[in-house]
């Protein structure tokens, strides 16, 4: 416990699902955790985790709006003066086969999964110093060819590429950058897919089940903490072996 004691963490897309699990785990490990979401009311109260010395501060923000991101980082600058851990989790996934992909679907997916992550990182590094860590939430889709998810997979391949480049660029500042890539995980996003797709994905997992958000959060904690102090530019897959064997 307390692997993030006295740390200031920001989780972009930190309410519900994987992001919510990460926010809760970080707070339980001692971090003051700003969890952004466009689903939160601006007047939402601070939420204390069940254990640990940290807390969750819900922040209303649409990660796809650069003005919202600017306001988030301005608030943190005023209240905390620094960011120690940044998690970039906001993202969407929509099914569409080649031949029926709309411009709007492409713009939505790349706007949130790629553009928002880029500008969130760019805004946060001004508040980060040596010892800081950035954890991107990718997907094993970055290397797979799942039918109907070409746009989503391409966006996650961009996330993997960002990880390598930013790790190289930020190493002189002492900031580490890594990506945790879940496989199929039992979240609301997965609940939206058809039973046929859900079953087909589960059959591809050697461990025979979907992942849990808490398992991804544990991996994110490792990458965010000093436990991974000599790890940067890496991809940590939490997929039950789906893309590994």
Instruction: Tell me the per-residue pLDDT of 170-203, one tens digit each, with 9 for 90 and over.
Output: 999 999 999 999 999 988 777 777 788 788 888 9
Cα 30 to Cα 52, 57, 81, 131, 215, distances in angstroms: 6, 13, 18, 17, 18
pTM for the structure as a whole: 0.93
Using CA atoms, how far apart are residues 158 and 121, in angstroms rounded to an integer? Answer: 14
pLDDT value, residue 47: 52
Any idea what DSSP says for residue 179? E
pLDDT value, residue 190: 76
50 Cα distance to chain centroid: 22
pLDDT value, residue 111: 97
Kindly name the residue from 34, 60, 149, 152 that is annotated as catalytic.
Answer: 152
Instruction: Look at residue 43 and tell me whether its pLDDT is greater than 60.
Output: no
16 Cα distance to chain centroid: 12
Any idea what DSSP says for residue 115? I
Domain 8-238 has CATH 3.40.50.720: yes
Strands (E) located in the chain: 8-12, 32-37, 55-60, 85-88, 133-137, 176-182, 235-238
pLDDT value, residue 44: 45
Instruction: Look at residue 214 and tell me whether its pLDDT is greater than 60.
Output: yes
pLDDT value, residue 208: 93
Query: Is 152 a known active-site residue?
Result: yes
pLDDT value, residue 192: 73
Angle between helices 150-170 and 103-110 (to 10 degrees): 30
160: tokens are 């993997």
Using CA atoms, how far apart are residues 154 and 88, in angstroms rounded to an integer? Answer: 17
Nearest by Cα to 61 from 37, 83, 97: 37
pLDDT value, residue 46: 52
CB atoms within 10 A of CB 219: 21
Phi, then psi, of 85 in degrees rounded to 5: -135, 130
Alpha-helix runs per DSSP H in 7-65: 17-28
pLDDT value, residue 201: 81
Instruction: Tell me the per-residue pLDDT of 78-116, one tens digit each, with 9 for 90 and over.
Output: 999 999 999 999 999 999 999 999 999 999 999 999 999
Nearest by Cα to 133 from 91, 174, 75: 174
């Amino acid at each position: 416990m307390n692997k993030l004691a006295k740390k200031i963490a920001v989780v972009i897309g930190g309410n519900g699902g994987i992001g919510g699990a990460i926010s809760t785990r970080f707070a339980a490990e001692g971090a003051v955790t700003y969890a952004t979401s466009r689903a939160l009311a601006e007047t939402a109260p601070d939420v204390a985790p069940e254990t640990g010395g940290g807390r969750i501060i819900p922040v209303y923000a649409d990660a796809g709006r650069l003005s919202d991101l600017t306001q988030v980082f301005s608030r943190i600058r005023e209240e905390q003066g620094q960011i120690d851990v940044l998690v970039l989790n906001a993202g969407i996934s929509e099914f569409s086969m080649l031949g029926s992909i709309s411009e709007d679907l492409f713009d939505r997916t790349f706007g949130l999964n790629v553009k928002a992550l880029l500008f969130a990182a760019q805004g946060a590094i001004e508040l980060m110093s040596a010892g800081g860590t950035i954890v991107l939430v990718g997907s094993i889709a970055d290397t797979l060819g799942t039918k109907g998810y070409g746009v989503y997979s391409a966006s996650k391949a961009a996330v993997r590429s960002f990880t390598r480049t930013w790790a190289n660029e930020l190493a002189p500042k002492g900031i580490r950058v890594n990506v945790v890539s879940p496989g199929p995980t039992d979240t609301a996003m997965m609940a939206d897919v058809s039973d046929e797709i859900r079953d087909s994905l589960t059959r591809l997992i050697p461990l025979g089940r979907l992942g849990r958000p808490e398992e991804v959060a544990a991996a994110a904690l490792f990458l965010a903490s000093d436990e991974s102090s000599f790890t940067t530019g890496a991809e940590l897959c939490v997929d039950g072996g789906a893309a590994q064997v």
